[in-house]
Structure 1
């Protein structure tokens, strides 16, 4: 029979590390509230939230946009709210990559879909993803508020973000675990505000 003691210790270590990072993020709730504020302002004024990222961050982009478009909590009846995952359409992504280069796969559609007053979430565990950086640059030029869900020290993306939530770690999996938690918190508070729901 296999000895699982080493794996059990590893599981405890990983869960404790994830919990410790989330506790660090809990030390700065005001930064999260500021992001909720700008998202609320965008939706109330007829704007939308846009999301972009690569790999696991692309999946997070689609996850969060879906929860705005469809629903977050089944216990709350509400309208669909406008959100776009710029990662969603493979025809658009491959056309932009083929015709303009991979760095433009989010920036190109953003330039047609984005409007002043929208909010763009750039999700990057390193803060160095060129396609996300380009999208943040284009958003800034279009008067679209930029929010970074970042890792490490924020990388080059930090300077392009009006608001940044940084997971202080360099391990991709741990950062992504915190990013989706932050996304859920932002959307839950946003849903509470827009529907008048009280916990």
Structure 2
């Protein structure tokens, strides 16, 4: 628990730390790596294959945000895109976790929705979320590509990712702020490619 008597950083200092992580992310994630993620997702969606997205906690909200941008619209009027959030069906999540295990709640849904040529996008600030790791393993078994948004090093997801977008930080809130910037860029780029 945080000590309430400890001085808090000023807003200016906090925004400065956030900006530093974004600049470090800009330097750490080469444009060709992001381009590879975009290309895989565009190819899948253009062929009518699914983009499955998952994460826990704040990353679950990010997974919902990403699919909302792609099913709905980001900046352009266009057809709906086949993006499915694995973090939002509470009946599936709670039933499967209760009867089997939370570790396999995303892998089970991958089994349900996977199509060869599709893409699984997983968000985990540590890269070690057991249920996201299990989903990546399931995705590979079903012929899907994998893209991970993680923190520094990529954790266990590094070895399971076809494309790894690793923010160079170990501080969860700052990683999540960088993830937002990265996936907004990704959504804009995917939409621009498919809007025609």
Q: TM-score, normalised by structure 2?
A: 0.92
Tell me, in whole angstroms, the C-alpha distance in 2 between the residues paired with 1:170 and 1:30.
23
Stretches of structure 1 lacking an aligned partner (at least 5 in a row): 1-5
Structure having greater relative contact order (Cα 8 Å, sep ≥ 6): 2
Give CA-to-partner distance per residue, 1:116-162, whole Å, 9 cap, x none: 11110110000111011000110011111000000121111111111
Which of 22, 31, 43 is equivalent to 2:33? 31
Q: How does 1:67-82 map to 2 (within 5 A)?
A: 67-73=69-75, 76-82=76-82
Partner of 2:56: 54
Note the C-alpha offset of 1:94.
0.6
Note the C-alpha offset of 1:71.
1.0
Q: How does 1:107-186 map to 2 (within 5 A)?
A: 107-186=107-186
The CA RMSD over aligned residues, in Å, is 1.2
2:41–2:190 Cα contact (<8 Å) kept: yes
Give every structure 1 segment of 4 or more consecutive aligned residues whose post-TM-superposition deviation is greater than 3 Å: none
1:105 aligns with 2:110: no
Q: TM-score, normalised by structure 1?
A: 0.91
Stretches of structure 2 lacking an aligned partner (at least 5 in a row): 1-6
